[in-house]
């Protein structure tokens, strides 16, 4: 995958679309909180498995998304004392958050079908040029 450079341009010179991945962070967070409480740094480590880099921009997006999800009643948080270091805010999915996760999964399934059709058409046209 091409890495983005300055001015929202990929190193290949084309316009960068990687910034749009932040919209995918919300369902990813919900998935990782489904049945398992977690704090921010744990979530960021898990998000790396889905292509998020763990950069400071990703961390800022993570905490902004968590704050918005909490304001909307999709997650709740509590402060927990750890054996080492300062207390950590731990996040947990609510019933409404689980319902939102299921809605996201259905929407992603529909979008995946669209993307598969797009890529098939793209390959057909690429091979004919």
Q: What is the DSSP string of 110-129?
A: HHHHHHHHHHHHHHHHHHH-
For residue 74, count CB atoms less than 10 angstroms from its CB and return exposed for 0-12, middle for 13-18, buried for 19 or more.
buried
Given a contact cutoff of 8 angstroms between Cβ atoms, the answer to whether 44 and 54 are in contact is yes
pLDDT tens track, the chain, 129 positions: 344 444 444 545 544 444 455 589 999 999 999 999 999 999 999 999 999 988 998 999 999 999 999 999 999 999 998 778 889 999 999 999 999 999 999 999 999 999 999 999 999 999 998
Question: Distance between CA atoms of 38 and 83, rounded to whole angstroms?
Answer: 16
What domains can you pick out in the chain, each with its CATH number? 19-128 (1.10.10.10)
Structure tokens at 27: 């369902």
């Amino acid at each position: 995958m091409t890495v983005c450079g300055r001015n929202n341009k990929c190193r290949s010179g084309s316009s960068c679309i990687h910034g749009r991945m932040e919209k995918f962070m919300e369902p990813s967070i919900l998935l990782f909180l489904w049945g398992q409480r977690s704090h921010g740094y744990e979530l960021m480590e898990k998000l790396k498995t889905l292509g998020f880099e763990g950069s400071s921009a990703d961390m800022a997006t993570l905490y902004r998304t968590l704050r918005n999800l909490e304001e909307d009643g999709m997650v709740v948080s509590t402060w927990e004392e750890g054996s080492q270091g300062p207390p950590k805010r731990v996040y947990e999915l609510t019933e409404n958050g689980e319902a939102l996760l299921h809605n996201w999964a259905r929407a992603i399934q529909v979008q995946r079908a669209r993307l598969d059709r797009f890529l098939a058409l793209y390959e057909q046209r690429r091979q004919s040029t």
